[in-house]
Structure 1
Amino acid sequence: MKNENLKMEKKANYWLLKTEPAEWSWDDQAANGGLSNWDGVKNKQAQKYMKSMKVGDLCFFYHSGTKSRRVVGVVEVVREWYEEGEAVDVKAVGEMKAAVGLAEMKKELKGVEFALFRQPRLSVLPVEKAVWERVCQMGGGYHDNDDD
């Protein structure tokens, strides 16, 4: 058996990270090279999800709050869970070409199993690949601001 037959493709995982824009916005994330630690998560279920994150996983950057509630960008996990900070490190990948609002997602993904609809108060949620792809399509994809 040849070596290339033994290679296994890494399964990508997708997540949604919520933040109040007044506390930490996409502009904050994108500044200084786009690198930050994602900490301050106290909910045990959300922490469990964070502990499952792997380097290379992609996350929707979601503005929460009464006025926002939309996917505004994408970040990548660059450091897995570490106890001393109770955090993962993420780096900005790109801003959504068009923010995708919660109401728009609920309409477009009606009947689709999406943790955001089931557990709306949780700050870290898994995202199924099909949902990830659909939300990216709805927002026209995401782009690195350096490419403009």
Structure 2
Amino acid sequence: MTKRKASQLETTEPEGASSGPRRSARQKRSALEETAPRDHVVNATTQKAPKKSGRSKAVDPGHPTNSEDEKTRAVTKEPNKKPKPKAAKAQNSSTTATKSNGTTNSSEKSFWLMKAEPGSRFENGTDVKFSIDDLASRTEPEPWDGIRNYMARNNLRAMKKGELAFFYHSNCKDPGIVGTMEIVHEHSPDLSAHDPKAPYYDASSKPEDPKWSVVHVKFRSKFAKPIGLRELREMGKPGQPLEDMQLLKQSRLSVSRVSPAEWDYLMSVANERGGEAE
């Protein structure tokens, strides 16, 4: 059978249908509006289609919705942003900070004060006299031995080669700072502690386990005018440059620390008084 075209199917009427002219949909609606009450007129253009029955399709939690897909695509399109580096902590600009007790940071150069007795005094039958002039006369590094105080010993052990120390005349008529010396050999065992004939023999110190230490020093300078203990005490009053000096806080300590600021101040005082002796 020959297939009919779609246009023929749409225009051919079934048998028994009226052969009169067909009214358009507009004419039918007009007739309906005339016979039906105004309140019941149905506006075909605004009537909503009935909702379909049944539950809507559940969203698979494993697959994002369209909006989530868009967000995901937006995120993946953005370049990976590196986290901003944290701001570096501010550095301390001071390289010569001095603690209140006169000590300095381990990375800084330290200064010292070491006491000796210029007048004759005998210990265990030996004269322990030793002055700045005795040190100046030495042609070899001098061992600073005889220290029998633990804090003084610890200060000896903290000394580094090349560091400087004040020479202090002690237990005499005019005690005070009389010059300077240099540490040329760092600490080693004090062998005099094991010698029964030595001035400061210590039977409790054993050669296999020595308790005491010694450093070697050499002469650097002698002041034209010493800085006496009475003057040092005036400089160590509250608010003065030496108020925290270990020498004045622990007066019986034979080896003490000197801060860089204290060292510079005392050297300026010595220079104002004529500097080094000729």
TM-score norm. by structure 2 comes to 0.46
Instruction: Report the CA distance between 1:75 and its aligned residue.
Output: 0.4
Q: How far apart in 2 are the matches of 1:138 and 1:54? A: 25
Instruction: Report the CA distance between 1:39 and its aligned residue.
Output: 0.5
CA RMSD of superposed structures (Å):
1.8
Matched, 1:90 2:187: no
Matched, 1:76 2:173: no
Per-residue CA deviations over 1:32-77 (Å, capped at 9, x if unaligned) read 2373110100001100000000001100000011412110010000
Give the structure 2 partner of residue 51 of structure 1.
Answer: 157
Matched, 1:137 2:268: yes
Question: Bigger shift: 64-73 or 114-123?
Answer: 64-73
Q: How far apart in 2 are the matches of 1:24 and 1:128? A: 25
Aligned-residue identity in percent: 33
For the 8 Å contact 1:63–1:70, the answer to whether it is kept is: yes
For the 8 Å contact 2:165–2:183, the answer to whether it is kept is: yes
Matched, 1:103 2:230: yes
Give the structure 1 partner of residue 114 of structure 2.
Answer: 17
Give the structure 1 partner of residue 46 of structure 2.
Answer: none
> 3-state DSSP class of the match of 2:155?
helix
Q: Relative contact order, CA 8 A, sep 6+: which one is greater? A: 1
Q: How far apart in 2 are the matches of 1:125 and 1:84? A: 18
1:35 to 118, 134, 141: 141
Structure 1 portions without partners, runs of 5+: 1-9
Q: 1:84/1:123 Cα in 2 relative to 1: closer, same or farther (>3 Å)?
A: closer
Q: How far apart in 1 are the matches of 2:160 and 2:109? A: 9
- Larger gyration radius, structure 1 or structure 2: 2
Give the structure with the higher percent strand: 1
Q: How far apart in 1 are the matches of 2:180 and 2:167? A: 5
> 3-state DSSP class of the match of 1:73?
strand
Give the structure 2 partner of residue 117 of structure 1.
Answer: 248
Give the structure 1 partner of residue 167 of structure 2.
Answer: 61
Q: How far apart in 2 are the matches of 1:47 and 1:129? A: 21
For the 8 Å contact 1:98–1:140, the answer to whether it is kept is: no
Q: Which amino acid aligns with 2:227?
A: V
For the 8 Å contact 2:182–2:217, the answer to whether it is kept is: yes
Q: Which amino acid aligns with 2:174?
A: S
> 3-state DSSP class of the match of 2:178?
strand
Structure 2 portions without partners, runs of 5+: 1-106, 120-128, 192-212
Give the structure 1 partner of residue 72 of structure 2.
Answer: none
Q: 1:97/1:11 Cα in 2 relative to 1: closer, same or farther (>3 Å)?
A: farther
Q: Which amino acid aligns with 2:228?
A: G
After superposing on structure 2, the runs of 4+ consecutive aligned residues of structure 1 that deviate more than 6 Å are: none
Question: Bigger shift: 18-27 or 32-41?
Answer: 32-41
For the 8 Å contact 2:146–2:190, the answer to whether it is kept is: no
Q: How far apart in 1 are the matches of 2:190 and 2:249? A: 31
Instruction: Report the CA distance between 1:137 and its aligned residue.
Output: 1.4
Q: Which amino acid aligns with 1:124?
A: V
